[in-house]
Structure 1
Amino acid sequence: MSYENILLNKEDKISIITINRPESLNALNAKTIQELSAAFDELNSDTNCRAIIITGSGEKSFVAGADIKEFSDFGQDKAEELARTGHNSLFNKIENLSKPVIAAVNGFALGGGLELAMACHIRYASENAKLGLPEVTLGLIPGYGGTQRLPKLIGKGLANEMIFSAKMIPAQRAKEIGLVNEVYPIEDLLLKTKELAKIIAFNSPMAISKAIHAVNLSDTDKGFDTEIKYFGELFELDDKKEGVTAFIEKRKPGF
């Protein structure tokens, strides 16, 4: 499939999605969300793809929010439809994808941009990155999962502070509070993200898929039972047999 607003590159077992709207600081409009959704569907069904990186073009912005002009005249019904569609077609899809998604946050990650990064399973950021949820300055609240994912990542008190104040925080502060995993110079960000993706890509894809789903249920009453169930299921699959055999034979597994 061809895309207009994103670039999709496949490198061995790793795929890189780049949001390519530098003229608007890679802001999310409806078409970009549709293309991202399609790209994740494509990669999720690609058996050669083991890990996915998402980033923004240039060195200024990951995603500087949603395209406000697209919804400035919406009423309640259309606004709810916009949020629900975004959840179902992209943000929840990323969180529940069977393959790990790493955000390489290369600059501004504001509003929908931070919500996109938070939907990913892991976040690396560049030293120049600024992260925030400025929706209350528009008389709104985050609509793509910000009020739900941010408290789970950094705690309710800090999440309230970020959302209520609408202030941006620098990358190092984001790391201190657990919003991003690591911070690197902008010139090293993608390289370091690829290094992590390569490590992940050579581990068991079936085990990682089960781990994603189990971790996503960690704050529910189904978490422990799901972990036990998946742990047992994996004993019947080829990946477990290969992994254990390779360990015994003192060689690297070939998943």
Structure 2
Amino acid sequence: MQYNNLLVEAQDSITTITINRPKKLNALNQETIAELHDALKDANKDKNTKVIIVTGSGEKAFVAGADISEFAHFSVKEGANLAGKGQELLFDFIENLSTPVIAAVNGFALGGGLELAMACHFRVASDNAKMGLPEVSLGVIPGYGGTQRLPQLVGKGRAMEMIMTAGMIDAHQALNYGLVNHVTTLAELLPLCEKIASKISRNSSVAIAAAIKAVNANFEDGTDGYKVEIKAFGKSFGTSDFEEGTTAFLEKRKADFPGK
């Protein structure tokens, strides 16, 4: 599929989706959000894709925020619809995707950009990355899950400070906060993500999908994550991947998971 705002490349069980709006510092507009949904959906359906990497084009920005020109004159109802539709179509969609999604944060990840990175299953940053939620400086609040996911990742106090000051933190501070898993040079960012993705791809995709669901359950109101884990654990025993994984272990060889 051809996209106006994305570049998509699939190679060696990894699909890399690059947001390609360099003149706008890869800012998210509604078209880009819709395209990201479609690209992620297609990659998730592709049996050859074991891991998805999301990044931004160029060296300056992952995603520098939402495209403010699109919603500067919205009404209260239009603003609520923008947030609701965006969360459903992209941010919640990524979080609950059965294929692991790694955010390769190259440069600025601000506002909707940081919210996009936080919706991914984990994040790796280049050492020039800057992250923040500056929405209150515009008289609005984060609307794509930022007020919920940031406290989950860095703690309530740090999240409150970042949101209230509208300030940015650098990559090493983000690493210290637990917002990103690794920091590396810009040149090594994608190679490191691909190295991690390669390790992931050698494991059972069925088990990984179940693990994603179980981990996410811990953050869902009214859901007992332990019960979700127990059920998913039990279901694992009925999969071909379990049969192959245990057989390979007993035979002292590497598993060749069928993915079912």
Classify the TM-score, shorter chain: over 0.9
Give the aligned residue type for 1:160. M
Specify the alignment match of 1:99 in structure 2.
99
CA offset at residue 222 of structure 1?
A: 1.4
Normalising by structure 1, we get a TM-score of 0.99
Verify: 1:46 aligned to 2:46, yes or no: yes
Q: Which stretch has the larger CA shift, 28-37 or 213-222?
A: 213-222
- Partners of 2:14 and 2:254 in 1: CA distance: 19
Alignment of 1:22-171 (within 5 A): 22-171=22-171
Superposed CA RMSD: 0.6
Specify the alignment match of 1:251 in structure 2.
253
- Partners of 1:64 and 1:122 in 2: CA distance: 19
Specify the alignment match of 1:215 in structure 2.
215
CA offset at residue 219 of structure 1?
A: 3.4
Of residues 239, 242, 245, the one that matches 2:241 is 239
Specify the alignment match of 2:228 in structure 1.
226
- Partners of 1:77 and 1:44 in 2: CA distance: 32
The C-alpha deviation readout for 1:105-129, integer Å capped at 9, x for no partner, is: 0000000000000000010000000
- Partners of 1:49 and 1:187 in 2: CA distance: 24
Normalising by structure 2, we get a TM-score of 0.97
Runs of at least 5 residues in structure 2 that lack an aligned partner in the other structure: none
- Partners of 1:89 and 1:142 in 2: CA distance: 16
- Partners of 1:166 and 1:6 in 2: CA distance: 28
CA offset at residue 202 of structure 1?
A: 1.2
Give the aligned residue type for 2:134. P
CA offset at residue 218 of structure 1?
A: 1.8
> % of aligned pairs identical?
58
The C-alpha deviation readout for 1:39-79, integer Å capped at 9, x for no partner, is: 01101111111100000001100000000000000000000
- Partners of 1:18 and 1:251 in 2: CA distance: 36
The C-alpha deviation readout for 1:113-148, integer Å capped at 9, x for no partner, is: 000000000100000000000000000000000000
CA offset at residue 195 of structure 1?
A: 0.3
Q: Secondary structure at the match of 1:187?
A: helix
- Partners of 2:75 and 2:35 in 1: CA distance: 25
CA offset at residue 4 of structure 1?
A: 1.0
Number of positions where the alignment pairs a residue of Structure 1 with one of Structure 2? 255
Q: Secondary structure at the match of 2:187?
A: coil
The runs of 4+ residues in structure 1 deviating greater than 3 Å are none
The C-alpha deviation readout for 1:10-42, integer Å capped at 9, x for no partner, is: 002100000000001000011100100000110
Give the aligned residue type for 2:177. I
Alignment of 1:186-197 (within 5 A): 186-197=186-197
- Partners of 1:253 and 1:202 in 2: CA distance: 8
Q: Which stretch has the larger CA shift, 217-226 or 235-244?
A: 217-226
CA offset at residue 217 of structure 1?
A: 1.1
CA offset at residue 232 of structure 1?
A: 0.3
Give the aligned residue type for 1:124. V
CA offset at residue 199 of structure 1?
A: 0.6
CA offset at residue 215 of structure 1?
A: 0.4
